[in-house]
Amino acid sequence: MDLAFTREEQAFREEVRSFFRDNVPPDTRRKLVEGRHLSKDEMVTWWRILNKKGWGVSHWPKQYGGTGWTSVQHYIFNEELQSYPAPQPLAFGVSMVGPVIYTFGNEEQKKQYLPRIANVDDWWCQGFSEPGSGSDLASLKTKAERKGDKWIINGQKTWTTLAQHADMIFCLCRTDPSAKKQMGISFIVFSMKSKGVTVRPIQTIDGGVEVNEVFFDDVEVPIENLIGEENKGWDYAKFLLGNERTGIARVGVSKERLRRIRDLASKVESGGKPIIQDAAFREKLAACEIELKALELTQLRVVADEGKHGKGKPNPASSVLKIKGSEIQQTTTELLMEVIGPFAAPYDVHGDDGSNEAMEWTAQIAPSYFNNRKVSIYGGSNEIQRNIIAKAVLGL
């Protein structure tokens, strides 16, 4: 047992850190620190910088543009990326559909899609959830019917993150209505510019528009856009959801936020002195830091285990990372609310597009608090994660 990183790993951390220092556009970083949303251009610009460096799809196999890093290197990269902070690669392309395509897709599909995912020539979105299918995803109803050399797609998806920017969607569609619910689902990809696709934004409680409803009305999709085998989509979906394990804890994000809390708490006053001098506040901050330290160690244990024994099957430990990681992210936003106190109130309705520069950046703290309620809901709610632990770990 040894906690220390090797000298090579430390040098790697330094390399990553200095690359971020030299290459992340300062405005992009500032907006992230302040909890603002980035424009599509800002995100894509950064991802192309990352891709040019060869780090855009770092965890992919080498032949598709991956780096061949060890688990520990990936961990370091993610931690530095999250805590710098810089925008994380677009998960829908890089972490979700990309691995499905290089694992289950045919050569033609790999050639067609993978380089464009890496360079974000296509912005991908995820068509999984439906109004009636949240945690019970396999009950989904969106239909794909085969007509000649086309799929005809009808139905509705929801909670589709950043669909307003998307060029492509990967979609779970029911292709065999007579089969048992998990059995008749296929994984189909198509252009969001197709005729019959309508995107309707959903405004969330933070005031932002991150998620959308997407409607399909007789959308025609070429038959070759099926990934893998027909009616095997559920397997690919499970693969996709289990693929992203250790990033889910978002330790770096919480670290960055805790540093910010400490910084703000030494400036904002309460009772005539900085809040950081208030014993009760300091103890809450310490409690959160300790929880995060424990989570970081738990994550390192999973990373080290993957490095030794390979990725293999989805690890139920990722459920621990999801539950604690989301709880801690939420606690950090609560602490920010506490620091900012009555100045949480002003509502910066135009802030994200930069049209209201006069607005105090603190106006993003309440929205960030509201927005972060989602982290214990998405990606399999924390209650679903508890079901997974009960079943897969405890055998209940």
Q: Which residues are catalytic?
A: 244
We find the least distance from the C-beta atom of residue 46 to other proteins, in angstroms, to be 25
Question: Which is nearer to other proteins, 1 or 358 (by Cβ)?
Answer: 1
We find the least distance from the C-beta atom of residue 335 to other proteins, in angstroms, to be 12
| β-sheet bridge partners, residue 300 | none
We find the least distance from the C-beta atom of residue 299 to other proteins, in angstroms, to be 9
Q: Where are the beta strands (DSSP E) in 223-353?
A: 226-227, 269-270, 273-274
Question: Which is nearer to other proteins, 197 or 295 (by Cβ)?
Answer: 295
Of 135, 132, 137, 171, give the one whose Cα is nearest residue 154. 171
- Give me 376's structure tokens: 């214990």
We find the least distance from the C-beta atom of residue 18 to other proteins, in angstroms, to be 21
Q: How far is CA 317 from CA 78, 247, 253, 391, 393, in A?
A: 18, 12, 20, 12, 9
| β-sheet bridge partners, residue 274 | 269
Question: Which is nearer to other proteins, 235 or 305 (by Cβ)?
Answer: 305
| β-sheet bridge partners, residue 190 | 169
| Close Cβ partners of 12 (under 8 Å, ≥ 6 residues apart) | 73, 76
Radius of gyration of the chain, Cα coordinates, nearest whole angstrom: 22
Question: Which is nearer to other proteins, 5 or 370 (by Cβ)?
Answer: 5
* Contact assessment for residue 47 and residue 57, using Cβ atoms and an 8 Å cutoff: no
In the block, residue with structure tokens 């974000």? 120
**φ, ψ (nearest 5 deg) of residue 227:** -95, 130
Question: Which is nearer to other proteins, 358 or 394 (by Cβ)?
Answer: 394
Residues at the site binding other proteins, with contacts judged by CB under 8 A = 1-6, 9, 72, 255, 258-259, 262, 279, 282-283, 285-287, 289-295, 297-298, 300-301, 303-305, 308, 317, 319-320, 323-324, 383, 385-387, 389-390, 393-396
